[in-house]
């Protein structure tokens, strides 16, 4: 079932070329339907959302929107759900939440959300930086978004892990209001929401949930940004609402590239590939290796494991349409092919994985060594598993606290600075034909010329 392509053959080149533009999906096919859904939700609000839930999910939620708090008082019941979980599931969920929080706290401490370097006498920039140059105070202020929407799918499978991986970075960044959209959430999802700091639950999925978060309902204020994975309808809806709200990106099908040399364990390589293939029929399970023998062994292991899998039909569909093994002639080519594909998950089944990673510039998450399963990154390790897909690792990054802040420039001129720089500013404005710009500088320079320096109030300079 795993097609094997040897470098130097026409099949190899055509397969590699096709894989570079993989997973984009034909959103054009669903755009008319999604556009209609968004417009209806904007026009009719709650009644439209409830109508789509009944039509698509065959149910009527007891409460469409619920806010955090005790279940008895109308909350979404996250704390109660956590208490109901089996002890081993609760412990695993709590440990995962703590690990994810610690990782993203380090992002905060290492990045531009750390302590500000405030110049003497300057304004208190809560985070970011500031400095003074030639009498001009310059800085960047960083503040968290006010309200964020998190989407967690609930169709073919439930993903409480996506709640943890999306909401916890938002909470660590300082976002005060976190809305979770997830249809018919079970106890594990509700418990994950509670542990993540979710403040509001929208009991809905699909494009209508995206529209509700983007434009608001009478009982739900609109959010500033929407993050999280979803199907083609969700991805299309995120694309269409972008501009009215921010989004983390257009997430496509899950994907993995296993990089293996001839010393790799084919059973473990196959296991990692299967772990991503089971996400959906459109998932990509890819292998690049220096060994044709290893590729053949992995193909056998994939076939042998299928009867054991509960989602066998999904996996078979994924492998039959989107799986491929690429056999290359050198270790250097392993890195080159990986760089061209820019895959979401890259599992390194090679000797000296760190050295090979250093040669690859574009990937979403690197799983280094035979003892690091992709599932560890999906659930437990710490970094968010919301990753760039479809080659967007060329310009995208894993979801992190930097996705949940805005940055503002801060500028303050002293009188000496304006005297020194004002004439050049005037000349540039007039060169662009913007007389009013130049006039705004000229008036200030004139006022400085008329006011004796000793009598000027320095606080107004």
Per-residue pLDDT of the chain (461 residues; tens, 9 = 90+): 799 999 999 999 999 999 998 866 678 889 999 999 999 999 999 999 999 999 998 999 999 999 998 877 778 999 999 999 999 999 999 999 999 999 999 988 776 554 333 333 444 335 788 999 999 999 999 999 999 999 998 866 678 999 999 999 999 999 999 999 999 999 999 999 999 999 999 999 999 999 999 999 999 999 999 999 888 899 999 999 999 999 998 888 899 999 999 999 999 999 999 999 999 899 999 999 999 999 999 999 999 999 999 999 999 999 999 999 999 999 999 999 999 999 999 999 999 999 999 999 999 999 999 999 999 999 999 999 999 999 999 999 999 999 999 999 999 999 999 999 999 999 999 999 999 999 999 999 999 988 765 455 554 54
Query: Are 158 and 87 within one domain?
Result: yes
Which candidate, 297, 278, 268, places its Cα nearest to that of 367?
A: 268
- For residue 316, with 0-12 CB atoms within 10 Å meaning exposed, 13-18 middle and 19 or more buried, which class applies? middle
- φ, ψ (nearest 5 deg) of residue 255: -155, 150
Which candidate, 246, 228, 213, 323, places its Cα nearest to that of 277?
A: 323
Q: Tell me if residue 293 falls in helix, strand or coil.
A: helix
- Which of 248, 273, 291 is where one domain is finished? 248
Query: Are 240 and 313 within one domain?
Result: no
204 membership: H or E segment, kind and range: none
Which residue intervals of 216-265 are DSSP H helices?
232-241
Give domain status of residue 408, yes or no: no
Give domain status of residue 119, yes or no: no
- Which of 333, 366, 382 is where one domain is finished? 382
Which CATH number covers residue 163? 3.40.50.1980
Output the CA torsion sign for 379, 384, 390, 393: negative
Q: Tell me if residue 338 falls in helix, strand or coil.
A: helix
Query: Are 177 and 290 within one domain?
Result: no
Query: Are 51 and 187 within one domain?
Result: yes
Q: Tell me if residue 48 falls in helix, strand or coil.
A: helix
Q: What is the pTM of this model?
A: 0.89
Considering 255, 344, 385, 426, which one is annotated as catalytic? 344
Query: Are 320 and 439 within one domain?
Result: no
The answer to whether residues 402 and 111 touch, using CB atoms and an 8 Å cutoff, is yes
The answer to whether residues 366 and 350 touch, using CB atoms and an 8 Å cutoff, is no
Query: Are 175 and 297 within one domain?
Result: no
- φ, ψ (nearest 5 deg) of residue 200: -145, 140
Give domain status of residue 390, yes or no: no
Tell me how many domains the chain contains.
3
Question: What's the token pair of residue 122?
Answer: 């300057």
- Which of 207, 229, 248 is where one domain is finished? 248
pLDDT at res. 455 = 52
Query: Are 199 and 288 within one domain?
Result: no
C-alpha 260/C-alpha 241 separation (Å) is 41
Give domain status of residue 401, yes or no: no
pLDDT at res. 122 = 40
Query: Are 85 and 194 within one domain?
Result: yes
Give domain status of residue 365, yes or no: yes
Size of the chain in residues? 461
353 Ramachandran zone, left/alpha/beta (phi>0; psi -120 to 50): alpha
Question: What's the token pair of residue 424?
Answer: 């050049």
Mode of pairing for the β-strands spanning 405-413 and 128-133: unpaired
Residue 448, domain extent: 415-460
Give domain status of residue 324, yes or no: yes
C-alpha 24/C-alpha 391 separation (Å) is 9
Query: Are 71 and 176 within one domain?
Result: yes
Considering 104, 194, 208, 345, which one is annotated as catalytic? 345
Give domain status of residue 135, yes or no: no
pLDDT at res. 295 = 97
Please compute, for residue 19, the number of CA atoms within 13 A of its CA located in the half-sphere on the CB side. Answer: 30
Active site residue 345: yes
Query: Are 208 and 175 within one domain?
Result: yes
C-alpha 421/C-alpha 414 separation (Å) is 11
Query: Are 319 and 373 within one domain?
Result: yes
C-alpha 151/C-alpha 396 separation (Å) is 19
Query: Are 233 and 157 within one domain?
Result: yes
Active site residue 385: no
pLDDT at res. 116 = 37
Please compute, for residue 177, the number of CA atoms within 13 A of its CA located in the half-sphere on the CB side. Answer: 14
Give domain status of residue 453, yes or no: yes
Output the CA torsion sign for 160, 162, 163, 164: positive
Which CATH number covers residue 448? 1.20.5
C-alpha 99/C-alpha 197 separation (Å) is 15
């Amino acid at each position: 079932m795993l097609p094997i392509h040897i470098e130097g053959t026409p099949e190899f080149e055509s397969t590699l070329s096709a894989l570079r533009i993989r997973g984009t999906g034909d959103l054009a096919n669903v755009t008319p339907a999604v556009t209609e859904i968004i417009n209806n939700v904007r026009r009719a609000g709650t009644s439209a959302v409830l109508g789509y839930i009944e039509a698509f999910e065959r149910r009527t939620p007891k409460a469409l929107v619920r806010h955090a708090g005790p279940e008895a008082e109308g909350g979404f019941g996250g704390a109660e759900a956590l208490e109901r979980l089996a002890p081993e599931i609760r412990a695993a969920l709590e440990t995962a939440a703590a690990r994810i929080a610690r990782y993203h706290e380090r992002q905060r401490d290492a990045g531009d959300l750390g302590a500000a370097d405030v110049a003497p006498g300057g304004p208190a920039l809560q985070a970011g930086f500031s400095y003074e140059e030639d009498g001009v105070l310059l800085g960047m202020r960083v503040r968290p978004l006010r309200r964020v929407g998190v989407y967690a799918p609930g169709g073919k499978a439930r993903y409480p892990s996506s709640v943890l991986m999306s909401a916890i970075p938002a909470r660590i960044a300082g976002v005060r209001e976190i809305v979770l959209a997830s249809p018919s959430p079970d106890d594990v999802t509700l418990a994950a929401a509670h542990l993540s700091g979710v403040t509001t639950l929208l009991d809905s999925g699909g494009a209508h949930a995206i529209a509700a978060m983007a434009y608001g309902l009478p009982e739900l204020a609109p959010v500033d940004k929407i993050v999280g994975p979803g199907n083609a309808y969700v991805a299309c809806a995120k694309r269409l609402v972008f501009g009215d709200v921010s989004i983390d990106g257009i997430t496509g099908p899950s994907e993995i590239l296993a990089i293996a040399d001839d010393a790799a364990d084919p059973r473990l390589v196959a296991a990692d590939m299967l772990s991503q293939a089971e996400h959906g029929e459109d998932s990509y399970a890819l292998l690049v290796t220096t060994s044709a023998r290893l590729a053949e062994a992995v193909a056998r292991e994939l076939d042998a494991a299928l009867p054991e899998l509960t989602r066998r039909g999904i996996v078979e569909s994924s492998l039959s349409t989107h799986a491929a093994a690429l056999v290359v002639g050198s270790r250097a080519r392993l890195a080159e092919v990986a760089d061209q594909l820019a895959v979401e998950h890259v599992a390194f089944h090679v000797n000296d994985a760190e050295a090979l990673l250093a040669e690859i510039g574009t990937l979403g998450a690197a799983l280094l060594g035979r003892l690091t399963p992709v599932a560890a990154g999906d659930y437990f390790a710490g970094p968010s598993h919301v990753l760039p897909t479809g080659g967007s690792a060329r310009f995208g990054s894993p979801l992190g606290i930097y996705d949940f802040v805005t940055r503002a420039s801060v500028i303050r001129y002293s009188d000496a600075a304006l005297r020194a720089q004002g004439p050049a500013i005037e000349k540039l404005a007039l060169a662009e034909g913007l007389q009013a710009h130049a006039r705004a500088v000229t008036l200030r320079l004139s006022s400085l010329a008329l006011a004796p320096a000793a009598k000027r109030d320095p606080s107004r300079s």
